[in-house]
Structure 1
Amino acid sequence: IGRIDKALLKEVIPVNPLNEHQQRAYHSILENFQSKNVCLLHGVTASGKTEVYIHLIEETIRQGKQVLYLLPEIALTAQITERLQRVFGSRLGIYHSKFPDAERVEIWQKQLSEADYDIILGVRSSVFLPFRNLGLVIVDEEHENTYKQQDPAPRYHARNAAIVLASMYGAKTLLGTATPSVETWHNATTGKYGLVELKERYKEIQLPEIIPVDIKELHRKKMMKGPFSPLLLQYIREALEQKEQVILFQNRRGFAPMIECNTCGWVPKCKNCDVSLTYHKGLNQLTCHYCGYTYQLPRICPACEGTDLRNRGFGTEKIEDDIKALFPDARVARMDLDTTRTRTAYERIISDFQQGKTDILIGTQMVSKGLDFDHVSIVGILNADTMLNYPDFRAYERAFQLMAQVAGRAGRKNKRGRVVLQTKSIDHPIIPQVIANDYEAMVGGQLAERQMFHYPPYYRLVYVYLKNRNETLLDLMAQTMAAKLRTVFGNRVLGPDKPPVARVQTLFIRKIVLKIETNAP
């Protein structure tokens, strides 16, 4: 009885009318679908893309067809479920891994019967559900890397799988985002996909003001309070006084990324992986985020018996601690992998923040994903450098997307939001691009670089990973494999090399990269 669809208990309401800009985008999408199977809706944050989706869903259902609506993160489903249930009631089915197996089987069974759902809202695994008459697939926040499943197999990218799924049914695919992936933008601007732009925020809300803060200089002058600049603390104080909400973003969970002995420099490492252990204060233990190995926090250094063990860096747990000390009266919540292990935990954190029961929300990239909160006036990006210094050719693009998306959470309804962007690399070219929200400058620069250095979308990348517990044998295997590949692909083969983390779960890793032209036979 507890699982009776909540939608049945709510009155179904008609869809909201679209404003002039949304109306134009809606008609342009339908026009594009006349000649193209895939269309990109590039709409700035808070432009009301979801309302456009709802009208497209309604039109598709009117034609007697089904809709698959994909989201990158389970956290988003709670907010969007509410909006969709208000309009579509019990015609909506929800599918993701936080549901117990029994509920997921129920959805499968229903999809296989005549009484199937008109809309399925789900995360990446929903692409494997059976459909009778699929007419439209919506991939919201298509740029998100959570659409890609790495481990365990099957390894797939749900955005690409969705496009293939739609083509199998003769259906259309709509990709929606404020910050398209470089590959999608390239496909849209070269005519492979349709392109529709929505450049005005809903109800003419201004984009937030982004204020960069040079924390390197502030550290030198000893003006930082832990991970917070004086400006950010001042803005948080003002927001709390005015009963507004704050989001603080740090893309690293735990208390401290590493512990170091201040006397001899010893750092506790994972015994199974080639990484340092992260300190989790709540559990009072060191944890490996790769294999789950845990280690009790030592009181003295096992290398030199010194007692001066210090935390290096900071994660969401430390920020939560510091904020509670600085603002004891504020109601603080943390949203990361550690606090959202269950479906109800996710939903509780989001609904509490939405209802104003939480003043400050601290989180990892989960807080950047298309969530709509009306009273957020301040967003703090505590350390932009961790995103920029990642050894990956997509690091620049991802950093821009994350910062633009997090910034988009600030300022709704009748007030312009502020974003404090703390960085040690104040001269980095990405900073002015984020401040101006200049997506096209970012993507233009990235496309030029990728063409020059042979990366997607101009080349296909194939990664070959070799793993073994015997490192000497592994090196020999990797050299032999690379030599064999070179006889076929020549200088398109790079490596073998050690990846940034060269040992995981007791297995040593080597990586061979193949760069193959997209137009190669």
Structure 2
Amino acid sequence: MLYVDVIVPLPLSGVFTYKIPDLLADRVIVGSRVIVQFGKKKFYTAIIHRIYDSDEPKTGIKEIISVLDDYPIVLPEQLQFWEWISSYYMCTLGEIYKAALPSALKLESETLVFLDASFEAKEPFTANETKVFDVLSDSKPLRISEIEKLTGISNAIPYVKSLADKGAAYLNENIQNKYTAKTEASIRLAKNYSESELNEILNNLKRAKKQEQALILFLELKKEEGDHPEFFIQKKLFLGQTGISSSVVDALIERGVLVSFQNEIGRFDYGDSDLLSSKILNPFQEKAYNEIYDNFKEKQVVLLHGVTSSGKTEIYIQLIKDAIERGERVLYLLPEIALTTQITERLKSVFGNKLLVYHSRFNDNERAETWQSLLQKEECQVVLGARSAVFLPLRNLGLVIVDEEHEASYKQQDPAPRYNARNAAIVLAGIHQTKTLLGTATPAIETYYNALSGRYGLVTLSKRHSEIELPEIVPVNTKDLRKRKQMKSILSPPLVEEMRNALGRDEQVILFQNRRGFAPLIECKTCSWTPKCLHCDVSLTFHKGQRVMVCHYCGAVYSIPTECPECKTPTLEMQGYGTERIEELVQETIPEANVVRMDFDTTRSKRSFERIIADFEANKTNVLVGTQMVSKGLDFDNVSVVGILNADSMLNYPDFRAHERAFQLMMQVSGRAGRRHKRGLVLLQTAHPGHPIISYIRNNDYASFYETQINERQLFRYPPFYRLIEIVIRGREEHVVDGLAVEFAQVLRQSFQERVLGPVKPGISRVQSLYIRKIVLKIENQASPQKIRELIEFYQKQVMQNPNYKSVLLHYDVDPM
């Protein structure tokens, strides 16, 4: 008997076994999708993980219900990659499946289905398809489970899928994203007419001159394209080229001379590639490019450590061109969706339709189309994406590029899998037996350690493009200015003066403040009361634009009180500065400034990034106020002044990575200044200008900064010398969460001893009404990840046998950031 092990999109460990009925035995393929019944009533789309024969019949095994694909949707290399992520990051294959596949490729009982009101049937439905079609509505979506109840069909998924394939229904897990192929109305001849038939039709049209003219023009276009019998043209394009009206073409369709049909077109059209349009590398870039290839002879991973504005992107483009010439694909990862806007334009101009872009801001149609394009189209050779792009089906992968490799946003936080895309990309390249290039101006401590210890290759690019000097970094002592009563807001007089000078020269300014909203705190001047979120242990941020207070952890929105609820006095005051308040302040202080803000609130839609960046590039705006988004690889020619408004907030964060993050962030923001024509100026506002990190930033001294950090890490047993595993315990009852945390830590100490830290109450100990406790394990690098995982899971099972802990949620964060 043939059996399959399948992965279901649920957070359950392991795979699940099903029988293959004889009728489907020749259709099942590893990596394809099948419908399975899970439990008594639920049906899911599962991925085949393994097919095998067994002589011993297994009892109580259900059969798979239907096969959805004739080819693998998930490639063997992807399944191997999923297994590594599951093992290393301590999560389930089901969680990875749910995160990896676009939701349009996952049908389940909770999937929403609705009717396409514009559908016209071209072929009859089967009896069950008709039953399903009759209960659907174009205004009220139904769950598949509801369709099964209304129609009496025990498993409606295959019939829903066939209706969706025919265009009669839309499917999705959320109503807004209707998964359908994008189509455009096109026209062609009703049949392959002979010359005599065409002459007869033209004779019959003698009285309808416009129709006759339209048909003649159509036939001329058909001849120009090689007179192919299957020739068709988009109706809109035909009307535009010929000046014929739509009603004339409709009349020819009514006569049966032409046929109108919906032709599937791609959502992404980046034009033709122009590989010759890439820039010629300067001598420094050429040297680095050759050194990368020299290192690739011996190392699987190479770090390109290039200062800001040294032209790393041009080296990447040259390497991508080489891979394309070898007939290989390239995966190019970026940490932030904002960054893809400028890089996409640059890559589009060189690679055209060889480029595919993929990230989480794409709707489900676009993500599913990208997935299918990579499986079916050979011409898609460059994939540009944020961290989720590592899950795409990448055949014939020849190179992986991880740009800005130091970025914390490569780490997925919630939900699982909590993977680091940089590390995962290195493993993915290993599975495909290819190379990885990591690029940055400020390497992560772990990466630089690996490069210096010989595990990775190291290539250094120390000269900026066109040999422009690195920006001058000037600390502004805010403590001294406040003492002398010269600084009344967050904008210091030296910064305001330099901004005015820059704007007077028609240059641009970037201001960096890593806090969105208007004010991070509202406080009563009389009794010091501050509003807090009802669901989280965190104060609320005032957003002036919406006139509300918002919790930045759970998203809850509250109205602003007119008086203090504690002492009943109207003495509420805004404390601190968010980007919204700075935007307003700059407008008041320098009225001639044209200010734009770039943070999470102004970039919620996919196009808003592009609009903000395009306006700033075109000098329509001249002051850009932003959060860390403005630090990540953006390239503006005309920026001469950068202001870092509060360096101390980054330096004083209670985290062993605080100084590393502060150094990276400030160096990256500073790198936005003076990128083309002349040296830029960075004003760094701090109450502690003598702080060692400020000194390293001023001197662009990464080597000294690294030495300090690596010595501390070794002394206190932190990465790269030890691995960290964070165990996060959450629940609605605080005493139950505490009980589990204490008990779990105690049993873990039986094996791990002093390597167990905690349990501790984190700084924000309640989010979304769930109390949080954390246990941290510090494990030597030499220890086997598999054995560590087995031990932890053994102790977890032991502790979770207590029925009191049934409602508590527990997850692991391996290599937390």
For the criterion TM > 0.5, the same-fold answer is yes
Which structure 2 residue ranges, 5 or more long, are not aligned? Answer: 1-183, 185-264, 785-817
- Supply the RMSD in Å over aligned alpha carbons: 1.3
Query: Aligned to 1:156, what secondary structure does the other structure show?
Result: coil
Q: What does residue 636 of structure 2 align with?
A: 373
Q: What does residue 233 of structure 1 align with?
A: 496
**Equivalent residue letter for 2:312:** K
1:477-496 matches, within 5 Å, as: 477-496=740-759
**Equivalent residue letter for 1:394:** R
Query: Aligned to 1:7, what secondary structure does the other structure show?
Result: coil
Q: What displacement does 1:17 show?
A: 0.9
1:441-520 matches, within 5 Å, as: 441-520=704-783
Q: What does residue 416 of structure 1 align with?
A: 679
Query: Aligned to 2:353, what secondary structure does the other structure show?
Result: helix
Contact 2:509–2:622, Cα closer than 8 Å, also in 1: yes
Which of residues 269, 278, 282 is equivalent to 2:541? 278
- 1:402-449 CA distances to partner (integer Å, 9 max, x unpaired)? 000000000022211000000112221111100001011111110000
Q: Does 1:295 align with 2:558?
A: yes
Query: Aligned to 1:272, what secondary structure does the other structure show?
Result: coil
1:133-152 matches, within 5 Å, as: 133-152=396-415
**Equivalent residue letter for 1:377:** S
1:76-225 matches, within 5 Å, as: 76-225=339-488
Q: Does 1:397 align with 2:660?
A: yes
Structure 1 residues 167 and 256: alpha-carbon distance in aligned structure 2, compared to 1, 3 A threshold: same
Q: What displacement does 1:10 show?
A: 8.2
Q: Which moved more, 1:16-25 or 1:324-333?
A: 324-333
How far apart in 1 are the matches of 2:274 and 2:378? 21
Q: What displacement does 1:3 show?
A: 6.8
How far apart in 2 are the matches of 1:476 and 1:106? 48
Q: What displacement does 1:161 show?
A: 0.7
Contact 1:208–1:416, Cα closer than 8 Å, also in 2: yes
Q: What displacement does 1:115 show?
A: 2.9
Contact 2:477–2:687, Cα closer than 8 Å, also in 1: yes
Q: What displacement does 1:5 show?
A: 4.2
Contact 2:741–2:759, Cα closer than 8 Å, also in 1: yes
Q: Does 1:344 align with 2:607?
A: yes
Query: Aligned to 1:35, what secondary structure does the other structure show?
Result: coil
Contact 1:40–1:188, Cα closer than 8 Å, also in 2: yes
How far apart in 1 are the matches of 2:554 and 2:579? 20
Contact 1:13–1:86, Cα closer than 8 Å, also in 2: no
Q: What does residue 618 of structure 2 align with?
A: 355
How far apart in 2 are the matches of 1:506 and 1:99? 31
How far apart in 2 are the matches of 1:353 and 1:450? 41
- 1:20-56 CA distances to partner (integer Å, 9 max, x unpaired)? 1100000000111111110000000000000000010
Which of residues 311, 325, 328 is equivalent to 2:588? 325
Count of aligned positions: 521
Q: What displacement does 1:280 show?
A: 0.5
Q: What displacement does 1:14 show?
A: 2.6
Structure 1 residues 354 and 6: alpha-carbon distance in aligned structure 2, compared to 1, 3 A threshold: farther
How far apart in 2 are the matches of 1:12 and 1:195? 28
1:25-44 matches, within 5 Å, as: 25-44=288-307
How far apart in 2 are the matches of 1:363 and 1:225? 21
How far apart in 1 are the matches of 2:581 and 2:269? 38
**Equivalent residue letter for 1:422:** Q
Contact 1:404–1:434, Cα closer than 8 Å, also in 2: yes
**Equivalent residue letter for 1:100:** N
How far apart in 2 are the matches of 1:11 and 1:345? 28
Q: What does residue 331 of structure 2 align with?
A: 68
Quote the sequence identity (%).
58
How far apart in 2 are the matches of 1:252 and 1:509? 24
Contact 1:269–1:276, Cα closer than 8 Å, also in 2: yes
**Equivalent residue letter for 2:638:** H
> Which structure has the larger Rg?
2
Which structure 1 residue ranges, 5 or more long, are not aligned? Answer: none
Q: What does residue 430 of structure 1 align with?
A: 693
How far apart in 1 are the matches of 2:732 and 2:483? 45
- 1:152-183 CA distances to partner (integer Å, 9 max, x unpaired)? 11110000110011111111000000000000
**Equivalent residue letter for 1:442:** F
**Equivalent residue letter for 1:113:** Q
**Equivalent residue letter for 2:547:** N
Instruction: Please give the TM-score of this superposition, normalised by the length of structure 2.
Output: 0.63
Q: What displacement does 1:328 show?
A: 1.8
Query: Aligned to 1:232, what secondary structure does the other structure show?
Result: helix
Query: Aligned to 1:8, what secondary structure does the other structure show?
Result: coil
- Give 4+ residue runs of structure 1 displaced > 4 Å after superposition: 1-6, 9-13
How far apart in 1 are the matches of 2:621 and 2:266? 28
How far apart in 1 are the matches of 2:511 and 2:684? 10
